[in-house]
């Protein structure tokens, strides 16, 4: 295994995922939510990430859902855990048709490697209308 990607209809997701959509008057039942997506660094740039997106988008369409969506962690540019060679994925996502929706925000808590305890991390959502 060199990577993995998850996805599920948003209606079955946690409150943290659904709440920003409900608050904005968006129906979670219309969205397919992309969860985790990880790929070993030596396999990046080979089209595998594109295949991850294509597979999840195909499943969303098969289920008759209108939107594909995911959230991304928001970190300051000088975050101490950001690698010096870090390249944001915004252009990759935009090229695939996704639009950033910073008004749709949530928070998840986890423990970063340099933390003694979990702390809240802000995330915002990206959405693509599968019918476009």
Mean pLDDT of 86-102: 93
Q: What is the mean pLDDT of the chain?
A: 94
- Name residue 39's beta-bridge partners: 3
Q: Name the band, by pLDDT with cuts 50, 70 and 90, for residue 110.
A: very high
Percent of the chain scored above 90 by pLDDT?
A: 82
What local confidence, expressed as pLDDT, does residue 79 receive? 80
What span, in angstroms and rounded, lies between the C-alpha atoms of 104 and 92? 20
Nearest to 34 by CA among 114, 101, 116, 128: 128
What span, in angstroms and rounded, lies between the C-alpha atoms of 39 and 27? 31
CA atoms within 13 Å, Cβ hemisphere of 122: 8
- Name residue 14's beta-bridge partners: none
Do 127 and 69 form a contact (C-beta atoms < 8 A)? yes
What local confidence, expressed as pLDDT, does residue 77 receive? 79
Span 52-91, pLDDT tens digits: 999 999 999 999 999 999 999 998 878 877 778 888 889 9
Give how far Cα 79 sits from Cα of 34, 73, 75, 83, 109, Å.
25, 12, 6, 9, 17
Span 16-35, pLDDT tens digits: 999 999 999 999 999 999 99
């Amino acid at each position: 295994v060199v990577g993995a990607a998850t996805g599920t209809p948003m209606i079955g997701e946690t409150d943290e995922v659904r709440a920003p959509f409900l608050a904005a008057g968006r129906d979670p039942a219309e969205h397919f939510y992309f969860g985790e997506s990880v790929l070993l660094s030596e396999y990046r740039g080979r089209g595998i990430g594109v295949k991850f997106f294509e597979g999840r988008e195909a499943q969303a369409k098969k289920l008759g859902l209108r939107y594909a969506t995911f959230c991304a962690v928001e970190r300051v540019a000088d975050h101490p855990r950001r690698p010096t060679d870090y390249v944001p994925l915004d252009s990759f996502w935009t090229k695939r048709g996704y639009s950033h929706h910073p008004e749709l925000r949530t928070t998840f808590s986890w423990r970063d490697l340099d933390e003694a305890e979990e702390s809240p991390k802000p995330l915002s959502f990206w959405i693509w209308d599968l019918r476009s």
